[in-house]
Amino acid sequence: MGTDYVMEVRHDDDSIYIIFPHFAIEENTKKTIPSNKNNIIKNVSIGNTNAKWVYEKIEEYNVEVPLYLYTIKDEIYITISSAKSFEEKDFEKIMGSLVKLVND
């Protein structure tokens, strides 16, 4: 995943979406984390960042499928997700490498 490049950047009133070939990053000023009673939340520490994995529990197969990783920094919700299969460690590495680009 380290060789990914930005394919597209989109925005709306509350969000910016950075689209890569294998994943996407969304930054949003409003809470956009969907809640589902079948979802399982697991905390993870990535360097100085406290993040949360959201998994979907698939009862039929008794498995937990990772959906996305998110954190909140400076009141901004940051979510990393993919429609493709991925390694959790790759998303954690990406989350740990995010830096603030604009100083107030």
The yes-or-no verdict on residue 9 having pLDDT over 60 is: yes
What pTM was estimated for this model as a whole? 0.83
Tell me the two tokens of residue 61: 């197969």
Task: Calculate the dihedral angle through the C-alpha atoms of 70, 73, 75, 78, rounding to the nearest 10 degrees.
Answer: -30
pLDDT tens digits, residue range 21-76? 989 999 999 877 767 777 889 999 998 889 999 998 888 898 888 989 999 988 89
Which residue's entry shows tokens 């197969």? 61
Contact 29, 36 (CB under 8 A): no
CA distances from 57 to 39, 41, 99 (A): 6, 10, 32
Report the 10 Å Cβ neighbour count for 96: 13
Question: Domain-by-domain residue ranges, the chain?
Answer: 8-97
